[in-house]
Amino acid sequence: GENVEQHPSTLSVQEGDSAVIKCTYSDSASNYFPWYKQELGKRPQLIIDIRSNVGEKKDQRIAVTLNKTAKHFSLHITETQPEDSAVYFCAAGGYGQNFVFGPGTRLSVLP
């Protein structure tokens, strides 16, 4: 089955700097890769996603890149702000497959 690894497990950045979180997956059949943000005590919320037929997707300060050959995808957050502090989860899956989540990255943005 699918296995998703995520690095780093914790990340601290200064406000205004960029943050990058990387995930790798094992099942080449996976074709959909969402990223979720979970604030303390809240539910995971979808922030961006990418399909396997796209190499990069951007939405304001966040972007996701996908390398199908290497089976890895990354979340990029630019101009980080204190409200970006949260736990971020990547996931891999696709039609007919359950999502498998990574273990999460705790991002702290220091003022």
Partner 1 sequence: NAGVTQTPKFRILKIGQSMTLQCAQDMNHNYMYWYRQDPGMGLKLIYYSVGAGITDKGEVPNGYNVSRSTTEDFPLRLELAAPSQTSVYFCASRVSSPTDTQYFGPGTRLTVL
Binding site for partner 1 (CB under 8 A): 32, 34, 42-46, 49, 51, 89, 93-95, 98-99, 101-104
Nearer Cβ to partner 1 (21/102): 102
Nearer Cβ to partner 1 (41/111): 41
Write down the least CB distance from residue 11 to partner 1, Å: 15
Nearer Cβ to partner 1 (68/99): 99
DSSP string, the chain: ---EEEE-SEEEEETTS-EEEEEEE--TT--EEEEEEE-TTS--EEEEEEETT-SEEEETTEEEEEETTTTEEEEEE-S--GGG-EEEEEEEEETTEEEEE---EEEEEE-
Write down the least CB distance from residue 74 to partner 1, Å: 18
